[in-house]
Amino acid sequence: MKNKDIIIISLKPWYVDIKGLSHGFATEFARQNRILFINCPLNRKMVLNRKHNSDIQRHYDILHSGGADLVEVRPNLWNYYPHRILESINKIPSTEIFSFFNKMNNRRFAKDIREAASRLGFKNYIIINDNDIFNGFYLKKLLQPELYVYCCRDNLKTVAYFKKHGTKLEPKHIAKADLALTNSDYLLKYLKQSNINSYNIGLGCDISHFNPGKEYAIPADMRQITGPIIGYVGTLTNMRLDIDLLHALAVSRPEWSIVLIGPEDEAFRNSALHPLPNVYFLGQESPKEVPAYINAFNVGINPQLVIELTIGN
């Protein structure tokens, strides 16, 4: 695909430290196309709680300080901070009533996208929606793109926030897409129930940072950790990872060092892992530093829970 204007919306804003599918799409497509990456819009609840999240606070500050809301982050790739605040409607019990207010939210979001696209001179654009079930539900009708693509990279309808309304609405969202994409055979079966034009595009990785022939220096904060070292790199969240399994591993093998690298959610911060002398939380590292840490592991693990959310992985 060449010389196309592509708009990407995602549940993960551009500025997050741990990138996702939509960031990979944006980076690759920007080589031969123009890309407008739309950050997730703020809602009332996010604004009220913004001081607890530095990324949301940054978005809010840009809108209220007159900062740059449309930034070229690399050639052919722009990142946009939507201005309009959406209503927080997820607690509405009726999906029919929720849908009424969600359409209002979609109209606000569509106005922001249309204005940003106009500023860049985007025309006949493609929209790629990375798993945003609700905010993108009416965008195909409201924005009339040349092609509307829905990406289902996670079984989000099993997550509490999405389950109530997403169970009914995501199949309808998938059905209205011109093309549906996923990264697993498990989710492909789900997509094909609603849209025959569904495909598994697999998983990808930017291997440019990983060089098996390179000599990596041991990171300073790992030099005093004795082996064997069992390591994990990624977001430390109890939505996906088995804290009890990690705890049992560390307790049953005290001679092993368990090294966990990545941002922690509240469950991990308050877990019984922290007091253990052979468990090391090293915090979040930049993508460029990650290969050196992985190289220092004796064994890498991905201790995922086997639940509806992760089984498609």
Q: What is the pLDDT of residues 96-137, one digit of tens each?
A: 999 999 999 999 999 999 999 999 999 999 999 999 999 999
* H-type alpha helices, the chain: 21-29, 44-48, 54-65, 95-120, 139-143, 160-176, 185-192, 243-252, 266-269, 290-296
| pLDDT digit string, tens, across residues 170-229 | 999 999 999 999 999 999 999 999 999 999 998 877 777 777 778 889 999 999 999 899
Query: For residue 143, is pLDDT > 70?
Result: yes
Distance CA 273, CA 243 (A): 8
Lowest mean pLDDT among 8-22, 33-47, 140-154, 155-169: 8-22
pTM of the model: 0.85
**The pLDDT value given to residue 17:** 67
Give the domains, in start order, of the chain with CATH numbers: 5-200 (3.40.50.11010), 208-300 (3.40.50.2000)
Residue owning tokens 């022939």: 213
Residues 6+ apart with CB under 8 A from 3: 32, 33
- Between 41 and 153, name the one with better pLDDT: 41
